[in-house]
Amino acid sequence: MRDRPAGTTGRRQHRGRLFGPLHGGRSHVKAARLSFALVAAWLALNVVIQPPVGARQEAAASEWALRLNAPISTWDEAIPLGNGLTGGLLWGGDSTVRLSLDRGDLWDLRTPDIYKEPDWNYATIQRLVAERNQRELVRRFDAPFEEIPYPTKLPGARLELTLDDGKRLTSFDLDLKRAVGGASFEGGEVTAFFSAIEPVAMLRVSGSRACLRIVAPAALSKLGYPPARTGATDASTWLEQEAALGLSYAVHVESRVVGATTEIAVSVTTSRDGARPLALA
């Protein structure tokens, strides 16, 4: 077990585990419910994510399928997945599969002081245009969008899976009918889907072992946030980020090896779900 970083000491006994028993305490009511939902989701995973032999090839040739050659080098060209609240973008290249994670309610909603001024309105824009006062128009209504980074949508985090033995990705695909995304490599594949019931994503890696890590978005430093707290054990890794106006959120990833495959569960929770997001993940 790796050493726990500063700021996370004592959290282990309060976290609901994605695999394995929950520790006692009233704070785990929601975590227990989520774990029961995960059991159901994993059962669904065995049905949904393991189609009969040849089904994936048939799907790739159907009108419901999208296939892209690897690499996908930028997140905005990725395979989109999600359930309406939690979402992910599947992309990557060489030996690394990336899943950029997000939630629809992750926002920095601070209001810049200049927006609160009584004459920060369309009437003032009209007046400045009529006066041909370009400098003041830019200072008040253009420059703030470049100089003040909020309000803004917040990215969650990025999960990276690095395949062993130097195996390289060959293609990505999306089965729209089953809402399953995939990344293929020689001798195996990574498949992923998001539960329609809980804010949980499921991934399965077959044909290779994978090294997991969570990457915090570098852009958050521009918002003045403290660095994310991170930690890991042999089977799990997590990230907890404090944001503005009392918002905080956590990303928790747990994996287990089943035969020749690695199964991975990913949960994104926020302080809107409960006072301690990491305990609910």
pLDDT at site 78: 97
147, 165, 197 - which closes a domain? 147
89, 119, 147 - which closes a domain? 147
Strand order across the 169-175 sheet: 65-69, 169-175, 180-185, 188-194, 200-206, 261-270, 248-258, 236-242, 229-232
In terms of domains, do 125 and 246 share one?
no
Per-residue pLDDT of the chain (281 residues; tens, 9 = 90+): 333 333 333 333 333 333 333 233 333 334 434 444 454 444 445 544 555 445 555 555 578 899 999 999 999 999 999 999 999 999 999 999 999 999 999 999 999 999 999 999 999 999 999 999 999 999 999 999 999 999 999 999 999 999 998 899 999 999 999 999 999 999 999 999 999 987 789 999 999 999 999 999 988 999 999 999 999 998 999 999 999 999 999 999 999 999 989 999 999 999 988 888 887 76
- Whether residue 7 is contained in a domain is answered as no
In terms of domains, do 123 and 258 share one?
no
In terms of domains, do 190 and 216 share one?
yes
- Whether residue 88 is contained in a domain is answered as yes
178: which residues sit within 8 A by CB, 6+ positions away? 48, 51, 59, 193
pLDDT at site 277: 83
* Distance, CA of 205 to CA of 201 (rounded, Å): 13
Point out which residues pair with 220 in neighbouring strands: none
Task: Please report which helix (H) or strand (E) contains residue 127, including its range.
Answer: helix 122-130
pLDDT at site 55: 55
pLDDT at site 165: 84
Number of structural domains in the chain: 2
Per-residue tokens: 230: 């991170």
pLDDT at site 197: 83
CA end-to-end distance (rounded Å), the chain: 19
The three-state secondary structure class of 18 is coil
In terms of domains, do 185 and 234 share one?
yes
- Contact (Cβ atoms closer than 8 angstroms) between residue 270 and residue 249: yes
- Whether residue 3 is contained in a domain is answered as no
pLDDT at site 31: 41
147, 164, 196 - which closes a domain? 147
CATH number for the domain that contains residue 29: 2.70.98
Q: Which domain holds residue 135?
A: 111-147
Q: Which residue has the tokens 């824009």?
A: 125
